[in-house]
Structure 1
Amino acid sequence: MKPLLRLPQALRHYLLAVQFFTRLPVTGRLADWVGYSPAMLRASAAHFPGVGWLVGGVAVAVYGLLHAALGGGLAPAHAGTPLVWLVAAVGCTVATVVATGGFHEDGLADVADGLGGSAQRERALEIMKDSRVGAFGAMALVLALLAKVALLALLGRHGLAPTLLLLWTGHVVSRGWPLLLIRCLPHVGDTATSKSKPLADRIALPALGAAAAWCALPLALVAWALGALTLAACLAASAVAAAAMGRWFARRLQGFTGDCLGATQQVCEIAFYLGAAIALAPRAL
């Protein structure tokens, strides 16, 4: 009975994560039932990959609908033209930006502006708090979106079903890696105003276990449908990206901010698709 009794509280934490990190409607009486407290937001961190289930679902739906509307088929041999894959990739990327309000993309731009704009730690943190987007942030956003769209279009050549599975799994797994930053690094943002301050306490191991549980099914499906090599390549690429981001933040900021978490999600998502594209690339005999 105890797990069943805990289910409503876990559902509240999950819905709070959805409310905090997306624009998907958790409002009205539902929002009143969910409630809010810093402790609840801290507990919701375990469900960040679960938010990826929803956002990835939106991406999958839009990619699939556009692919079908433009005449693409299911099999690689009938998957349509590269332009079909490109339009579907752009459409699903726009859909995820709308679904999240560009939350993670904003973090990436702020991090690029701060760490690109100053070698001094305090000045970099000050720049990151500025809502305006500078040259480094604009370049980072353009390059990140181009990389994401290009990789998703490239994956389309392998058929619709593998692409949709990788798209969904990339959104889920990329939301798990930032939790390791919370676990390993101190929070260095403005504690008085930072929205991520409730996440500053290092995440507990049971919460990391819950986050891993959210990732288990998507990863198992990738291994089953596309093979262990593809799974290993995706995980290795995204793990290297997460480690590089963590090392960068530790060296430059001596910790993380909420923007760092968003930037890490974006970079790890792109790296996941890159690993898949490399693993699935045809090899010359």
Structure 2
Amino acid sequence: MTKPIKEMSTGQLTQQLFEKLKAQLNLFYLALSFFTRIPVPKTMFYSEALLSRSNQYFSLVGLVIGLLLALSYASFSAFVPINIAILLVMGVSLLLTGAFHEDGLADMADGIGGAFAIEKRLSIMKDSRIGTYGAVTLIIALLLKFTLLVELAKQDSNHLLLAIVLAECLSRAIAGSLISSMPYVCDSEHSKSKPLAQAQSSSELSILLLIGISPLIFYSSEVILCLVLILFVFRRLFKQWLLAKIGGFTGDCLGAAQQISQLLIYLTLVSFANKDILSGVVG
């Protein structure tokens, strides 16, 4: 009589585990569908509450994008020169994400640079048109990204591929972590980022950061320490700056944080590469 009961208990445990894994996979699909143009299964279930919880997988989305971009570069570089391959990869990145984060960077630059009153700044950020501040910021950011990627490619293809994966993954962890420590200030009911701006639990933040730092295992302790320190200082200063300028964050600010973090990661890796500190880190 006891054997069927044990088998039933094991089956229930297995079913519960399966349901939990299915729920987490659904959260990942929600994050992937929100931040990219990558197709997701039609069985994905959507709700604003679930989309809010999906913030823990922002960095995993970055990891997927990074791997796709690394694969794209490996394919392009077999047929065209390095600089052209990098331009093509940047184009693929924009196609994969719909320029989601770049748009946020430009909108934040327009809003904060184009007004003094908080209400006016938030109003400008909601405007779909791009202004002078946004255009100039975006051009500089894209040119800097291209230049840094070319410099990394000159060192070694492996350095570039790892850098792309790391930057896409870790930068989203930094941006997503701001949700846990700042109020959401955009009060528009039509804001596409509002469902993501709810409170972030400690477990969600931990998952976000653990996935974000995972590519660092391929780097030396000196590189890891420097990157962590630079990104920590940036996050702290960026948070204080946003609080002073608009009293919190918007979805555009998260996009800007991702773009700036990404550039800081590339800049740091280029600095180490020029000092030959990265020599031997990648096999």
Q: After TM superposition, is the score higher than 0.5?
A: yes
Match of 1:274 among 267, 274, 278: 267
Corresponding residue pairs, total = 262
1:242 shift after superposition: 2.5
Amino acid at match of 1:37: S
1:130 shift after superposition: 0.3
Counterpart-to-counterpart distance in 1, 2:205 and 2:264 = 21
Alignment correspondent of 2:77: 67
Stretches of structure 1 lacking an aligned partner (at least 5 in a row) = 71-83
Alignment correspondent of 2:238: 245
Counterpart-to-counterpart distance in 2, 1:185 and 1:282 = 37
Alignment check: 8 A CA contact 1:234 1:273 kept: no
Counterpart-to-counterpart distance in 1, 2:179 and 2:157 = 35
Q: What SS is found at the alignment partner of 2:123? A: helix
Amino acid at match of 2:154: R
Amino acid at match of 1:208: L
Q: What SS is found at the alignment partner of 1:190? A: coil
Map Cα deviations across residues 186-239 of structure 1 (whole Å, 9 max, x no partner). 000124111222222221000011112322431212x2xxx1112223333333
Alignment correspondent of 1:20: 34
Alignment check: 8 A CA contact 1:49 1:176 kept: yes
Aligned residues: percent identity? 34
Counterpart-to-counterpart distance in 2, 1:247 and 1:6 = 37
Alignment check: 8 A CA contact 2:177 2:208 kept: no
How does the TM-score come out when normalised to structure 1? 0.88
Map Cα deviations across residues 96-136 of structure 1 (whole Å, 9 max, x no partner). 11100000000001000000101211111010000000000
Stretches of structure 2 lacking an aligned partner (at least 5 in a row) = 1-12, 277-283
Question: Pairwise CA RMSD of aligned residues?
Answer: 1.5
Alignment correspondent of 1:161: 158
Map Cα deviations across residues 156-213 of structure 1 (whole Å, 9 max, x no partner). 1220112101111100000001122111110001241112222222210000111123
Match of 2:171 among 171, 174, 193: 174
Counterpart-to-counterpart distance in 2, 1:137 and 1:191 = 21
How does the TM-score come out when normalised to structure 2? 0.88
Alignment check: 8 A CA contact 1:47 1:210 kept: yes
Alignment correspondent of 1:262: 255
Counterpart-to-counterpart distance in 1, 2:169 and 2:181 = 21
Alignment correspondent of 1:86: 83
Counterpart-to-counterpart distance in 2, 1:107 and 1:16 = 20
Counterpart-to-counterpart distance in 1, 2:209 and 2:67 = 18
Alignment correspondent of 2:116: 119
Q: Which has the larger displacement, 199-208 or 42-51?
A: 199-208
Counterpart-to-counterpart distance in 2, 1:38 and 1:48 = 16
1:259 shift after superposition: 0.6
